[in-house]
């Protein structure tokens, strides 16, 4: 397997608009090479006879049934608010917008 070169790291850095020092290029080249090698090893282990999965154990629908339940009234919802105006939460004005 080929190793990632310093020039490839410099190219990636340019694409990402990053300025890297010479020491950083060398460090990242070595680190990326280890990462790519590790991913390649995982790819070798995963056999074609192993089906792709999103979980290690089979799951069925883990959600509760969607049944309507009573919610809070407006008064209950606003009871803990620090400021209320016209049955709404009062928040600070932003960006100088007019009402």
Contacts of 91 (CB under 8 A, 6+ apart): 83
**Both tokens assigned to 71:** 């919610």
- For 61-90, write each residue's pLDDT tens digit: 778 888 999 999 999 999 999 999 999 999
CA 14 to chain CA centroid, nearest Å: 24
Kindly tell me if the per-residue pLDDT of 2 is higher than 60: no
Give me the pLDDT at residue 77, please.
Answer: 93
Overall residue count recorded for the chain in this entry:
99
Write the CATH number of the domain with boundaries 6-45.
Answer: 1.10.20
- For residue 59, how many other CB atoms are within 10 A of its CB? 9
- Tell me if 76 sits within 8 A of 84, measured CB to CB: no
**Both tokens assigned to 99:** 């009402």
- Tell me if 17 sits within 8 A of 11, measured CB to CB: no
Give me the pLDDT at residue 97, please.
Answer: 63
- What pTM does this model have? 0.45
Q: Which of 39-43, 45-49, 68-72 has the lowest mean pLDDT?
A: 45-49
pLDDT band at 41 (very low <50, low <70, confident <90, very high): confident
Overall average pLDDT of the 10-39 stretch: 93
């Amino acid at each position: 397997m080929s190793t990632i070169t310093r020039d490839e790291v410099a190219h990636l850095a340019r694409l990402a608009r990053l300025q890297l020092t010479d020491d950083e290029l060398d460090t990242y080249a070595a680190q990326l090479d280890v990462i790519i090698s590790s991913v390649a090893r995982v790819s070798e282990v995963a056999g074609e006879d192993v089906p792709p999965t999103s979980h290690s154990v089979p799951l069925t629908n883990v959600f509760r049934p969607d049944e309507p339940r009573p919610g809070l009234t407006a008064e209950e919802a606003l009871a803990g608010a620090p400021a209320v105006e016209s049955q709404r939460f009062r928040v600070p004005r932003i960006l100088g917008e007019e009402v």
